Amino acid sequence: MTPLGERIRELRRERGVSQKDMAAAIGVSAAYLSALEHGRRGIPTWTLIQKIIGYFNIIWDDAEDLQRLAEASHPRVRLDTSGLTPAATELANLLAENIGRLDDEDIERLTLAVKRALANRRS
């Protein structure tokens, strides 16, 4: 499941909406919506994200959060490390080969470490 899929499912459950009803309202099939929630579809179009935001009547920061989640929810990530250091290539391959073996706590810790490193570079 992707971060976007998880959030859509949470929103549906909070509001007591079925996939079938939501899919019909935003103009997609229930099968597509299910695949989106389960991470078997790529990032939806900007237009579809806007329909989802409108459907749930999400405003301001929550709408921005949903758009950010969409951008971070591609289920198949490709990394091009050509031109980067050998260490960067090793890191990318290590994650690609082993991400499924990490538990949520490990993933959260690694994500936080990467975000901190990026924030330090911006400073």
| pLDDT over 80 (residue 75) | no
Positive/negative CA dihedral, 5, 7, 65, 3? negative
Could you tell me the fold of the domain covering 3-71? Answer: 434 Repressor (Amino-terminal Domain) (1.10.260)
Q: What are phi and psi of 36, to 5 degrees?
A: -65, -45
Q: How would residue 43 be classed by pLDDT, with cut points 50, 70 and 90? A: confident
Task: State pLDDT tens for residues 81-105.
Answer: 999 999 999 999 999 889 999 999 9
Query: What is the C-alpha separation between 78 and 120, in angstroms, rounded?
Result: 25
| pLDDT over 90 (residue 42) | no
Query: What are the domain boundaries of the chain?
Result: 3-71, 86-122
C-beta separation of 49 from 78 below 8 A: no
Q: What is the pLDDT of residue 1?
A: 80
Output the pTM of the full model: 0.68
The two three-digit tokens of residue 54, written as one number: 């409108």
